[in-house]
Amino acid sequence: MEHLIIDCHIHPALDEETGTGWFYPSGSTQHQIDTLKRAGISQACGSSVKSGAPGSFDEIRLLNDRVLALRDRFPHFYIPGIQVHPHFPDESCQEIERCCGGEGVRWVGELVGYMMGYGVEYATENALKIMWTIREYDAVVNIHCNDLAVVDELCQSVPDLKVVLAHPGGGKQEFLDRLEKVAKYPNLHFDISGSGIDRYQILRKAIDVAGKEKLLFGTDYPINNPAVYVHGTLFEPLSEEEHAAIFNGNFLRLTQQ
Protein backbone atom coordinates (compact mmCIF):
# COMPACT_ATOMS: atom_id res chain seq x y z
CA MET A 1 0.00 0.00 0.00
CA GLU A 2 1.31 3.44 -0.94
CA HIS A 3 1.50 5.89 1.97
CA LEU A 4 1.41 9.63 2.28
CA ILE A 5 4.72 10.14 4.11
CA ILE A 6 5.30 13.43 5.92
CA ASP A 7 8.81 13.88 7.29
CA CYS A 8 8.45 16.15 10.34
CA HIS A 9 12.18 16.54 10.93
CA ILE A 10 14.44 17.94 8.25
CA HIS A 11 16.85 20.86 8.23
CA PRO A 12 16.85 22.48 4.79
CA ALA A 13 20.32 23.62 3.82
CA LEU A 14 19.93 27.18 2.59
CA ASP A 15 23.67 27.80 2.24
CA GLU A 16 26.97 26.44 3.53
CA GLU A 17 26.35 27.77 7.06
CA THR A 18 22.99 25.99 7.40
CA GLY A 19 24.08 22.70 5.85
CA THR A 20 24.11 19.79 8.31
CA GLY A 21 25.27 16.96 6.05
CA TRP A 22 28.36 15.21 7.39
CA PHE A 23 30.38 14.44 4.30
CA TYR A 24 29.34 16.51 1.29
CA PRO A 25 27.26 19.64 0.64
CA SER A 26 23.52 19.01 0.37
CA GLY A 27 23.20 20.72 -2.98
CA SER A 28 20.45 23.06 -4.12
CA THR A 29 17.08 23.11 -2.42
CA GLN A 30 15.63 21.47 -5.52
CA HIS A 31 18.19 18.67 -5.21
CA GLN A 32 17.34 18.23 -1.52
CA ILE A 33 13.64 17.93 -2.29
CA ASP A 34 14.31 15.52 -5.16
CA THR A 35 16.37 13.37 -2.78
CA LEU A 36 13.56 13.23 -0.22
CA LYS A 37 11.03 12.40 -2.93
CA ARG A 38 13.30 9.67 -4.25
CA ALA A 39 13.19 8.12 -0.78
CA GLY A 40 9.39 8.05 -0.98
CA ILE A 41 8.66 11.15 1.13
CA SER A 42 5.62 13.18 0.09
CA GLN A 43 6.12 16.33 2.17
CA ALA A 44 8.73 17.53 4.66
CA CYS A 45 8.75 19.93 7.58
CA GLY A 46 11.46 21.49 9.71
CA SER A 47 13.57 24.50 10.49
CA SER A 48 16.93 25.58 9.24
CA VAL A 49 19.72 25.66 11.85
CA LYS A 50 22.96 27.58 12.12
CA SER A 51 25.80 26.66 14.45
CA GLY A 52 26.80 29.22 17.07
CA ALA A 53 25.08 31.73 19.32
CA PRO A 54 23.47 34.55 17.32
CA GLY A 55 24.69 38.09 17.90
CA SER A 56 21.14 39.39 17.68
CA PHE A 57 17.67 38.11 16.96
CA ASP A 58 18.01 39.43 13.42
CA GLU A 59 19.94 36.25 12.59
CA ILE A 60 17.04 34.09 13.79
CA ARG A 61 14.50 36.20 11.92
CA LEU A 62 16.54 35.86 8.73
CA LEU A 63 16.52 32.06 9.04
CA ASN A 64 12.74 32.18 9.36
CA ASP A 65 12.35 34.55 6.43
CA ARG A 66 14.35 32.18 4.28
CA VAL A 67 12.30 29.10 5.17
CA LEU A 68 9.10 31.03 4.53
CA ALA A 69 10.47 31.88 1.09
CA LEU A 70 11.28 28.19 0.60
CA ARG A 71 7.67 27.33 1.43
CA ASP A 72 6.47 29.86 -1.13
CA ARG A 73 8.77 28.32 -3.71
CA PHE A 74 7.74 24.70 -2.96
CA PRO A 75 4.25 25.06 -1.44
CA HIS A 76 3.16 21.49 -2.17
CA PHE A 77 6.21 19.90 -0.55
CA TYR A 78 7.88 22.01 2.11
CA ILE A 79 6.16 22.83 5.42
CA PRO A 80 8.12 25.48 7.34
CA GLY A 81 9.39 25.17 10.87
CA ILE A 82 10.66 28.31 12.55
CA GLN A 83 13.41 29.04 15.05
CA VAL A 84 13.12 30.97 18.32
CA HIS A 85 15.75 31.63 21.00
CA PRO A 86 15.38 31.84 24.81
CA HIS A 87 18.04 34.56 25.04
CA PHE A 88 15.62 36.78 23.10
CA PRO A 89 12.24 36.02 24.69
CA ASP A 90 10.33 39.14 23.65
CA GLU A 91 11.61 39.00 20.08
CA SER A 92 10.83 35.27 19.96
CA CYS A 93 7.24 35.83 21.07
CA GLN A 94 6.85 38.55 18.43
CA GLU A 95 8.28 36.16 15.85
CA ILE A 96 5.75 33.48 16.80
CA GLU A 97 3.00 36.05 16.41
CA ARG A 98 4.38 37.03 12.99
CA CYS A 99 4.93 33.51 11.67
CA CYS A 100 2.19 31.50 13.38
CA GLY A 101 -0.38 34.28 13.56
CA GLY A 102 0.35 35.98 10.25
CA GLU A 103 1.95 33.31 8.06
CA GLY A 104 0.05 30.23 9.22
CA VAL A 105 3.12 28.37 10.49
CA ARG A 106 2.19 25.39 12.69
CA TRP A 107 5.64 24.04 13.64
CA VAL A 108 8.42 25.48 15.80
CA GLY A 109 11.75 23.67 15.59
CA GLU A 110 13.50 21.40 15.75
CA LEU A 111 14.99 23.63 18.44
CA VAL A 112 18.61 22.56 18.86
CA GLY A 113 19.98 24.45 21.84
CA TYR A 114 23.41 22.86 21.86
CA MET A 115 23.98 24.10 18.30
CA MET A 116 22.54 27.57 18.70
CA GLY A 117 24.10 28.67 21.95
CA TYR A 118 21.61 27.88 24.69
CA GLY A 119 22.10 24.26 25.74
CA VAL A 120 18.95 22.72 27.27
CA GLU A 121 17.16 25.96 28.16
CA TYR A 122 13.67 24.72 27.29
CA ALA A 123 12.02 25.32 30.68
CA THR A 124 13.73 28.44 32.00
CA GLU A 125 11.65 31.54 32.70
CA ASN A 126 12.52 32.96 29.28
CA ALA A 127 11.84 29.68 27.50
CA LEU A 128 8.49 29.18 29.22
CA LYS A 129 7.39 32.64 28.12
CA ILE A 130 8.09 31.53 24.55
CA MET A 131 6.41 28.14 25.07
CA TRP A 132 3.23 29.76 26.36
CA THR A 133 3.14 31.90 23.22
CA ILE A 134 3.54 28.80 21.06
CA ARG A 135 0.65 27.30 23.02
CA GLU A 136 -1.42 30.46 22.46
CA TYR A 137 -1.14 29.92 18.71
CA ASP A 138 -1.78 26.16 19.06
CA ALA A 139 1.46 25.35 17.26
CA VAL A 140 3.74 22.36 17.86
CA VAL A 141 7.27 22.61 19.27
CA ASN A 142 9.93 20.04 18.38
CA ILE A 143 12.89 20.03 20.81
CA HIS A 144 16.25 18.30 21.00
CA CYS A 145 16.65 17.59 24.71
CA ASN A 146 18.56 14.79 26.41
CA ASP A 147 17.81 16.02 29.94
CA LEU A 148 14.54 14.31 30.86
CA ALA A 149 14.18 16.44 34.00
CA VAL A 150 13.87 19.46 31.69
CA VAL A 151 11.28 17.58 29.62
CA ASP A 152 9.33 16.90 32.82
CA GLU A 153 9.43 20.56 33.81
CA LEU A 154 8.32 21.73 30.37
CA CYS A 155 5.42 19.29 30.07
CA GLN A 156 4.23 20.05 33.59
CA SER A 157 4.61 23.82 33.24
CA VAL A 158 2.69 24.08 29.95
CA PRO A 159 0.49 20.97 30.03
CA ASP A 160 -1.48 21.83 26.89
CA LEU A 161 1.60 22.58 24.78
CA LYS A 162 2.08 20.09 21.95
CA VAL A 163 5.67 18.89 22.40
CA VAL A 164 7.55 16.54 20.08
CA LEU A 165 10.77 15.17 21.55
CA ALA A 166 13.29 14.70 18.78
CA HIS A 167 14.86 11.23 18.48
CA PRO A 168 14.12 7.99 20.33
CA GLY A 169 17.71 7.91 21.64
CA GLY A 170 20.69 5.72 20.86
CA GLY A 171 20.93 3.07 23.56
CA LYS A 172 18.25 0.67 24.76
CA GLN A 173 17.85 2.18 28.23
CA GLU A 174 17.90 5.73 26.89
CA PHE A 175 15.09 4.82 24.51
CA LEU A 176 13.07 3.14 27.26
CA ASP A 177 13.51 6.14 29.56
CA ARG A 178 12.40 8.55 26.84
CA LEU A 179 9.51 6.27 25.92
CA GLU A 180 8.37 6.25 29.55
CA LYS A 181 8.14 10.05 29.49
CA VAL A 182 6.23 10.02 26.20
CA ALA A 183 3.75 7.54 27.67
CA LYS A 184 3.41 9.59 30.88
CA TYR A 185 2.49 12.98 29.42
CA PRO A 186 -0.55 13.37 27.14
CA ASN A 187 1.08 16.38 25.45
CA LEU A 188 4.44 14.68 24.74
CA HIS A 189 5.32 12.79 21.54
CA PHE A 190 8.53 11.82 19.82
CA ASP A 191 9.76 11.72 16.26
CA ILE A 192 11.70 8.69 15.11
CA SER A 193 14.64 10.58 13.55
CA GLY A 194 18.22 10.14 14.69
CA SER A 195 19.78 6.97 16.02
CA GLY A 196 17.74 3.98 17.07
CA ILE A 197 15.53 3.21 14.10
CA ASP A 198 17.88 0.40 13.05
CA ARG A 199 16.94 -1.52 16.21
CA TYR A 200 14.37 -4.00 14.98
CA GLN A 201 10.87 -3.66 16.47
CA ILE A 202 11.66 -0.37 18.22
CA LEU A 203 8.49 1.09 16.73
CA ARG A 204 6.44 -1.92 17.78
CA LYS A 205 7.72 -1.43 21.33
CA ALA A 206 7.02 2.31 21.25
CA ILE A 207 3.43 1.80 20.12
CA ASP A 208 2.81 -0.96 22.65
CA VAL A 209 4.01 1.29 25.50
CA ALA A 210 2.88 4.78 24.44
CA GLY A 211 0.29 4.25 21.72
CA LYS A 212 0.31 4.80 17.98
CA GLU A 213 -0.80 8.42 18.41
CA LYS A 214 2.54 9.37 20.03
CA LEU A 215 4.98 8.70 17.16
CA LEU A 216 5.81 10.94 14.20
CA PHE A 217 7.90 10.07 11.19
CA GLY A 218 11.13 12.04 10.84
CA THR A 219 14.55 11.51 9.29
CA ASP A 220 16.85 14.39 10.32
CA TYR A 221 17.84 14.78 6.65
CA PRO A 222 20.41 15.78 5.42
CA ILE A 223 22.33 14.26 8.34
CA ASN A 224 20.64 10.88 7.83
CA ASN A 225 19.67 8.82 4.80
CA PRO A 226 15.89 9.32 4.48
CA ALA A 227 15.33 6.01 2.69
CA VAL A 228 16.57 4.13 5.77
CA TYR A 229 13.70 5.61 7.79
CA VAL A 230 11.05 4.99 5.15
CA HIS A 231 11.97 1.36 4.61
CA GLY A 232 12.79 0.74 8.27
CA THR A 233 9.31 1.93 9.22
CA LEU A 234 7.65 -0.11 6.48
CA PHE A 235 9.53 -3.24 7.54
CA GLU A 236 8.31 -3.08 11.14
CA PRO A 237 5.47 -5.49 12.03
CA LEU A 238 2.81 -2.80 12.24
CA SER A 239 -0.77 -2.62 11.03
CA GLU A 240 -1.76 -0.36 8.16
CA GLU A 241 -3.48 1.89 10.69
CA GLU A 242 -0.29 2.12 12.76
CA HIS A 243 1.85 2.85 9.72
CA ALA A 244 -0.55 5.58 8.62
CA ALA A 245 -0.53 7.17 12.09
CA ILE A 246 3.26 7.40 12.09
CA PHE A 247 3.67 8.42 8.46
CA ASN A 248 1.10 11.22 8.39
CA GLY A 249 -1.89 10.96 10.73
CA ASN A 250 -0.26 12.22 13.91
CA PHE A 251 1.46 15.11 12.16
CA LEU A 252 -1.75 16.18 10.46
CA ARG A 253 -3.70 15.94 13.72
CA LEU A 254 -1.17 17.92 15.75
CA THR A 255 -0.80 20.64 13.13
CA GLN A 256 -4.55 20.64 12.40
CA GLN A 257 -4.11 20.25 8.64
Would you give the DSSP letter of residue 213?
A: G
- Global pTM value: 0.96
> What is the structure's pLDDT at 1?
61
121 in any annotated domain: yes
80 in any annotated domain: yes
> What is the structure's pLDDT at 198?
86
35 in any annotated domain: yes
Structural domain of 186: 6-255
Alpha-carbon separation of residue 75 from 115, 124, 161, 222 (angstroms): 28, 35, 26, 20
204 in any annotated domain: yes
Average pLDDT over residues 110-128: 97
Counting the structural domains of the chain, the total is 1
Average pLDDT over residues 215-220: 98
231 in any annotated domain: yes
110 in any annotated domain: yes
What phi and psi, each to the nearest 5 degrees, are found at residue 143?
-120, 145
What is the distance, to the nearest Å, from the Cα of residue 126 to the centroid of all Cα atoms in its chain?
21
1 in any annotated domain: no
Summarised one tens digit per residue, pLDDT across range 37-57 is: 999 999 999 999 999 999 999
Residue 103: which CATH number? 3.20.20.140
Q: How many helices (H) and strands (E) does the chain have?
A: 11, 8
User: Over 80: is that where the pLDDT of 98 sits?
Assistant: yes
Summarised one tens digit per residue, pLDDT across range 169-195 is: 889 999 999 999 999 999 999 999 988
Summarised one tens digit per residue, pLDDT across range 81-93 is: 999 999 999 999 9
pLDDT, the chain, mean: 96
User: Over 80: is that where the pLDDT of 27 sits?
Assistant: yes
Summarised one tens digit per residue, pLDDT across range 137-154 is: 999 999 999 999 999 999
